Structure 1
Amino acid sequence: MASAQWTNDGRLHFGVGIEDTFIPQEALGHRKLDEYELTQHYQNWRSDLDHVADSGAELLRWGIPWYLVEPRPGEFDWRWLDEVAAHMNDRGIRCVVDLMHYGTPLWLENSFANAAYPERVASYARAVAERYAGVWDDFTPLNEPVINAIYCGETGVWPPNLQGQDGFVRVAVALARGLVRTQQEIEAVNPAATFVHVEAGFRWEGDTTPLSRELLEERRFIILDLAMGRVGEKHPLRSYLAEHGVTGADLDWFAHNPVTPDVLGVNYYPGFTTVSMDDSGTTQPVEAGTAGLRDLVEVYSERYGLPLAITETSRGGSVEARLEWLEESLTEVNALREEGHPVLAYIWFPFFTLVDWLYRLDHHTPDHWFVHMGLIDLVRGADQQLQRHHTPAFDAFRSHATASK
């Protein structure tokens, strides 16, 4: 198990993550998306956690389905979560709890556009932190906030289905305020808590339209910058925020309520973190390999000067491709550490097969949208149960994880 001081003991800690996107709202042409349901994690959670322990992972990124745990405002159903927390504790798994992984409860009208969102998510987070203090002490208040703002506020794919730059900024500010209030409320009930803020590592190649590359390069940091109180008079996006409705009073609130994570998590996938964009704004993934990983670590290290973690990385496709990426990426991470970049953790994400988010937008079976990027592949048997099959990547990861302890 990772030591209580995993953030400053100098080792590289290995972890895995279970895909935990929850978008429970349904609409015409938009199905419910609950990764735990689609991958049968609700039925197999105990054995899935046993697989995590057997992999040698010290850390686990695992999320709470907020919409199920708080089915009505202020009313919590802890029964399942109590069992999960106890089993993680028994197996020596240190959980970095994803408190908000995209979706809000069904009762929160208009999702992130609801004026009460920041206080609602903070109240839920406080309840979790208070109940599980000493068992769960590591928290990600909000996973990949900029992706959240894009899907929910700019492209309108997820609730509240806003569009354009006004929508992006409105959701981004709400998310940032919720992130701040979440960390404040957790600290109030668990002063020993550790915070791992996690952002997607966006990268672009070539010219971009209709949004300029300069704007995109800065916009990827905007929610972290807001939460940390870094959007001052000279911030390059201050005028952009004002143009889309952010007031001086809004920015003053963030300046007077800054929060700083103990660890800054960067998510990077070699096959699709980097994109090119055509004149219509359509993006295409660009293979960036270890060069992209190095670039992001250097950029985040220079900008924030905080301890870092690779909180998500993996490669889709064949097991051979996954094995190759495991070796290549670990070699690069170790080189970055030797150069002085404080990378504290390496987390393979997802641990097992996930269902592509596009499942939400059509009527194909979950199997049609299986993406095999994990150390374990899901295979549906004749009984319709999803069997967990270890791949050679599982054994290779375990070898590295065990050697690092």
Structure 2
Amino acid sequence: MGAQHRGPRWYEDGALHFGLGIEDTFVPQSRPGERAIDEYALTDHYTRYGEDLGLAAGAGATFLRWGVPWYRVNPEPGRYDWTWVDRVVDRFGELGLRPVIDLLHYGTPLWLDGQFAHPDYGRHVADYAVAFAERYGDRVTDYTPVNEPMIHALFCGVYGYWPPYLTGDDGLTTMVRALGEGFVRTQRGIADVLGEATFMHVDASMRYAGDVHGEHRERAERLTHQAHLVEDLVTGRVDDQHPLTAVLRAHGMDDATLAWFAENAVRPDVMGVNYYPRISTEVFEEGVHHGGGFADPRPAQDAGVAGLVEVLLEAERRHGVPVMLTETAVTAPVADRVAWLHESVAAIRTLRSVGHQVVGYTWWPVFDMYEWTYRHGTADREEYLLTMGLYDLVEDGTGGLDRRRTPVADTYRALATDDRANGRLAEGRRAA
């Protein structure tokens, strides 16, 4: 299911499609020392959604990766409030901007005890996803069932950083099984409703450098395989030969569960890769042992365009479908952002020129966002600002946030417009 359609899709017209995203992390649970985080609330997107979508369209984007705040639209089991989402979807239509919907970008509703570890999580998330598709399927046909499922699994199931605060291989196995089941049920449920939906699977790039052939070899190999684990599971690739099957079995995943995933496998129509040049490559240091994660992070290496090319080609090789850069940026001054925009687009153009199916480029986000450490901090939001957007967020002195255009937006628009024109010319030549 997925990648089984008739006729060309919108991303198969020969152009390089330029998109944007709005950061949409939602972890609404709180406890002493940890406050809820909702990026839409932090960035004033709930009140300024019309302007924000207009900024994306005005910058030259043809699609926008946009997430639904599940915990808000589904405040009680079986009850939905789509009032705000109705207005947003209408705004997409007014602008002619294609929505690519993030159905799960971290976090579960407050009523779901145990969060992802709830025994019925998979059915609950699929019910919500299907309810969305039933309501908006006449206008929304592109879906990401779970954004960055392996980041979910690590933060919630290995590091104990987000609910349900699980750790180790027991936590990893619990999270991978739950996320995978919800992923499969979501995609199959939407496909049953819409038939011709497009599914864009998206996960984070996790690269490892440094001492990966010496004392850290086994750990680096394990993490390299682990980076693809949820996607391998939902696409039916976790069998007796998979490098991590023994780990999953040793920590509670039985043969019946593995057989269910194999029998119900889903496939991406597009494989999305999230790559941040300064943080996506972790370095193993000889003689130094880091646990990884927020508590004990390994140092990061700026792998630049070489890393970007590697992860895109690996995604294309593994999945055999068109690939898309679904998130990239640098958290840096404007000049550095502009430089990375030029470098990364040039790298993708080069890949396309020699026949690789890289169909889209997504700068993330449209405007700045706030660091996830806000959840564990006590300071005001401005202390956690990450300057990585086309537009800077600027406190207006009255508690609100202005969106201030930067040269990054001008550069993005110039590149997007140029590629659209080139795509139209190529299409015209083929037609002639």
Cα offset, 1:350, TM superposition? 1.1
- 8 Å contact kept, 1:60–1:94: yes
- 8 Å contact kept, 1:24–1:106: yes
Among 202, 205, 218, the alignment partner of 2:206 is 202
Among 97, 100, 112, the alignment partner of 2:101 is 97
1:85 aligns with 2:89: yes
How is 1:208-223 mapped onto 2 (pairs within 5 angstroms)?
212-223=219-230
1:404 aligns with 2:419: yes
**Counterpart residue type for residue 83 of structure 1:** R
Q: Give secondary structure in 1 for the equivalent of 2:11.
A: coil
1:347 aligns with 2:362: yes
Cα offset, 1:211, TM superposition? 6.7
Please name the residue that 2:372 is paired with.
357
Q: Give secondary structure in 1 for the equivalent of 2:24.
A: coil
Please name the residue that 1:24 is paired with.
28
How is 1:255-334 mapped onto 2 (pairs within 5 angstroms)?
255-277=262-284, 278-281=288-291, 282-334=297-349
Residues 165-212 of structure 1 show CA distances to partners (whole Å, capped at 9, x for unaligned) of 110111011101110000000011111211000000100112365971
Cα offset, 1:348, TM superposition? 0.3
Residues 250-284 of structure 1 show CA distances to partners (whole Å, capped at 9, x for unaligned) of 10000000101110000000110111244132311
**Counterpart residue type for residue 203 of structure 1:** R
Residues 11-64 of structure 1 show CA distances to partners (whole Å, capped at 9, x for unaligned) of 110000000000000011111000000011111111111111101100100000
Q: Distance in 2 between matches of 1:188 and 1:171?
A: 26
Residues 280-320 of structure 1 show CA distances to partners (whole Å, capped at 9, x for unaligned) of 32311111100110110121111221110000001111100
Q: Distance in 1 between matches of 2:132 and 2:99?
A: 13
Residues 61-83 of structure 1 show CA distances to partners (whole Å, capped at 9, x for unaligned) of 00000000000011000111111
Where in structure 1 do 4 or more consecutive aligned residues deviate above 3 Å?
207-211
Among 252, 255, 263, the alignment partner of 1:248 is 255
Cα offset, 1:333, TM superposition? 0.5
**Counterpart residue type for residue 258 of structure 1:** A
- 8 Å contact kept, 1:308–1:343: yes
Cα offset, 1:5, TM superposition? 2.5
Q: Distance in 2 between matches of 1:206 and 1:174?
A: 33
Among 215, 222, 230, the alignment partner of 2:237 is 230
State the identity %.
Answer: 45
Please name the residue that 2:424 is paired with.
none
Among 143, 160, 172, the alignment partner of 1:139 is 143
- 8 Å contact kept, 2:305–2:344: yes
Q: Distance in 1 between matches of 2:251 and 2:315?
A: 26
Q: Distance in 2 between matches of 1:120 and 1:310?
A: 30
How is 1:6-45 mapped onto 2 (pairs within 5 angstroms)?
6-45=10-49
**Counterpart residue type for residue 308 of structure 1:** V
Among 354, 367, 386, the alignment partner of 1:371 is 386
Q: Tell me: CA distance 1:72–1:204, structure 2 relative to 1, closer, same or farther (3 Å).
A: same
**Counterpart residue type for residue 182 of structure 2:** G
Q: Distance in 2 between matches of 1:210 and 1:172?
A: 24
Q: Distance in 1 between matches of 2:406 and 2:139?
A: 30
Root mean square deviation, CA, Å: 1.4
**Counterpart residue type for residue 219 of structure 1:** Q
Please name the residue that 1:117 is paired with.
121
Structure 2: stretches of 5+ with no match in the other structure: 1-6, 292-296, 421-432
Residues 307-339 of structure 1 show CA distances to partners (whole Å, capped at 9, x for unaligned) of 100000011111000000000000101111122
Please name the residue that 1:156 is paired with.
160
- 8 Å contact kept, 1:152–1:162: yes
Range that drifts further, 337-346 or 76-85: 337-346
Q: Distance in 2 between matches of 1:340 and 1:241?
A: 38
Residues 69-120 of structure 1 show CA distances to partners (whole Å, capped at 9, x for unaligned) of 0000110001111111011111001010000001000000010000110000
**Counterpart residue type for residue 23 of structure 1:** V
Cα offset, 1:149, TM superposition? 0.3
Among 181, 185, 192, the alignment partner of 1:177 is 181
Q: Distance in 2 between matches of 1:47 and 1:20?
A: 16
- 8 Å contact kept, 1:196–1:264: yes
Q: Distance in 2 between matches of 1:13 and 1:6?
A: 9
Q: Distance in 2 between matches of 1:4 and 1:258?
A: 23
Q: Report the count of equivalent residues.
A: 403
**Counterpart residue type for residue 311 of structure 1:** T
- 8 Å contact kept, 1:6–1:13: no
Q: Give secondary structure in 1 for the equivalent of 2:305.
A: helix
- 8 Å contact kept, 2:130–2:186: yes
Q: Distance in 1 between matches of 2:9 and 2:71?
A: 32
Structure 1 length normalisation: TM-score?
0.97
1:127 aligns with 2:136: no
Q: Distance in 2 between matches of 1:9 and 1:166?
A: 45
- 8 Å contact kept, 1:210–1:280: no
Range that drifts further, 209-218 or 137-146: 209-218
Q: Give secondary structure in 1 for the equivalent of 2:236.
A: coil
